[in-house]
Structure 1
Amino acid sequence: TRGLWRLVTSLGTMPDPVGGVLPTAGLPDERAYRVQTERVLGEIADGAGGVVLGRAAAMVLRGRPDVLHVRLDGHPDRRLAAALAHLGGSEDEVRRERDAADAARTAYVRHFYRCDPAEARHYHLVVDSTELPHDAVVDLVVTAARARGIVR
């Protein structure tokens, strides 16, 4: 668990659900981190809404009729190529970052919610975004949101 918590707290340098960056000093304990994250996700969903990337939002907000859970995925090699095209940098560096981010997200969901975040049952829509043009992916998500009555 200690190794996992170090991995989870490394997420503190990633953007938080409301757009800031969590400080790495003085990070809360596991329970406080989970409770705070769930509180913020609930506030977003109860308020004006928004798009939440990660943070186990599909697990935290499951069962709500006013949300759409989407998983954007793709073959790791195609995700790497897309990241290189978008971000630049060395292939080895981008691959390491992709692998670390994937491992951290999976560990976070498994640790706190005891499930596999890759299982399609957690999402309304799963899209291989490396095989479709960006505009088509956006159209799919918007269409699904409209079908759930979320977007007009």
Structure 2
Amino acid sequence: MGKQLIISVGREFGSGGHVIAEELARRFGLVLYDNNLLEQIAEEKEIPHDGLKKYDEKPKSRLFSRTVRGYSNSVQENLANMQFDYLKKKAADGESFVVVGRCSETILKGTQGLVTVFVLGDPDVKAERIQKVYGVSEEEARRMMKREDWNRKSYHNYYCKGKWGDSRNYDFSINSSKLGIEKTVDILETCIRARM
């Protein structure tokens, strides 16, 4: 691929956004950054990555953190900033990739070849998907949806001016419940290729 292409995928919990990002990465022959981003950063900085996942894409704890002279003791905030710096460096080096979440539609704004997507879904369809994927009851699936989306929204809105999920912040917002995962990917692939 000649030109740089970065696909940023924001998503509601249960919408299939991660699966959609995986398939877009496969179809375009790009590396995918999601949870594996933590391992990449830990390896690069030579720090253990065990235990970092629980702080990934979580809002900063205001009660237990302080910032003094620009330095924060918040694990969540430091981890978020490491991820932002890592993605900015990859983009500045001209690399092409797909990234899930991590405020990427905002922190990479202005990057040539950036295409931003937000995947949402109908609550009933998302709850059903969560039940299948995680093997939980419908009640638990709805609780998980509410909790995870609150975490993502809080995380995003702490680091970004634009609000999480607001269609004005993305090139494409799509409801994966309407056509299913495969056809949603088909539509996004067509739109992205048209943008290229």
Is the pair's TM-score, using the shorter chain for normalization, greater than 0.5? yes
- The reply to whether residue 33 of structure 1 matches residue 79 of structure 2 is yes
Distance in structure 2 (CA, Å) of the matches to 1:118 and 1:76? 15
Deviation for aligned residue 1:24: 4.3
Distance 2:94 2:137 in 1: 40
Q: How many residues align?
A: 134
Q: Is the 8 A contact 1:83 1:94 kept in 2?
A: yes
Shift of 1:140: 1.4
CA contact (8 A) 1:80 1:98 kept: yes
Q: Which runs of 5+ in 1 are unaligned?
A: 1-14
**Change beyond 3 A, Cα 1:44–1:129:** farther
* Contact 1:74/1:129 (<8 A) preserved: yes
Q: Counterpart in 1 of 2:35?
A: 16
- Summarize the Cα distance change of 1:67–1:100 in structure 2 as closer, same or farther, 3 Å threshold: same
Write the distance in 2 (CA, Å) between the matches of 1:16 and 1:47: 22
2:97 to 50, 54, 65: 50
How far has the Cα of 1:17 moved from its partner?
A: 5.3
1:93 is aligned, of 126, 140, 146, to 140
Once residues 95 and 182 of structure 2 are traced to their aligned partners in structure 1, the CA distance between those partners, rounded to angstroms, is 24
Q: Percent identity?
A: 25
Query: Counterpart of 2:173?
Result: 126
TM-score with structure 1 length normalisation?
A: 0.74
Aligned Cα RMSD in Å? 2.5
Residues 35, 140 of structure 1: CA spacing in aligned structure 2 closer, same or farther, 3 A cutoff?
A: same
Structure number with higher relative contact order (C-alpha < 8 Å, ≥ 6 residues apart):
2
Render the CA deviation track for 1:2-43: whole Å, top value 9, x for unaligned: xxxxxxxxxxxxx63526466249x76255333212112224
Name the counterpart of 1:84: 131
Where does structure 2 lack aligned partners over 5 or more consecutive residues? 1-33, 40-48, 56-72
Paired residues of 1:80 and 1:95 also in contact (CA < 8 A)? yes
Residue 3 of structure 2 corresponds to none
Query: In the TM superposition, what whole-angstrom CA distance separates every residue of 1:49-97 from its partner, at most 9, and x where no partner exists?
Result: 3221111111111222312111110122221122223443222222222
TM-score where L is the length of structure 2: 0.59
Higher percent of residues as strand: 2
